[in-house]
Amino acid sequence: MDLLTFTTNFADQFEETEISAFTPNTNYKELEEWSSLIALSIIAMIDEEYDVSIKGDDIRSAETIEDLFTIVKNRK
C-alpha cells in the first residue's frame, strides 16, 4: 500500500475534476465536485481495494488525501 496508488484510486472516484488536482496534500473537501455521494464512493473503494472499513467520521476528520491514507494504513 503506497500513497501514490492511494491518491490515484482516490482521484478515480471523481468524474469531472482533473487528475492534476490530486496530490497527497489536496484538501479534497474543497474540491468543487466533492459531495456525499463521492464520500460513499471513497468508503466503498477503500473497502474493496484495501479491505479496510472506514466511516463518515473518518472522512470528516481527515483534511487531505494523505490524512485519509494514514487512517487507512493504520487500520491495515
* pLDDT tens-digit readout, 46-67: 999 999 999 999 999 999 999 9
Which amino acid is it at 44? Answer: A
Q: Where along the chain do its domains lie?
A: 3-14+24-75
Give exposure, 32-50, as e/b (b: 16+ Cβ within 10 Å): eeeeeebbeebbeebeeeb
- One pLDDT digit (tens) per residue for the chain, 76 residues: 899 999 999 999 999 999 999 999 999 999 999 999 999 999 999 999 999 999 999 999 999 999 999 999 999 8
The answer to whether 13 and 41 have CB atoms below 8 angstroms apart is: yes
pLDDT value of position 8? 97
Task: Give me the CATH topology for the region 3-14+24-75.
Answer: 1.10.1200
Which amino acid is it at 2? Answer: D
- Measured CA to CA, the distance from residue 74 to residue 11 in angstroms comes to 21
pLDDT value of position 37? 97
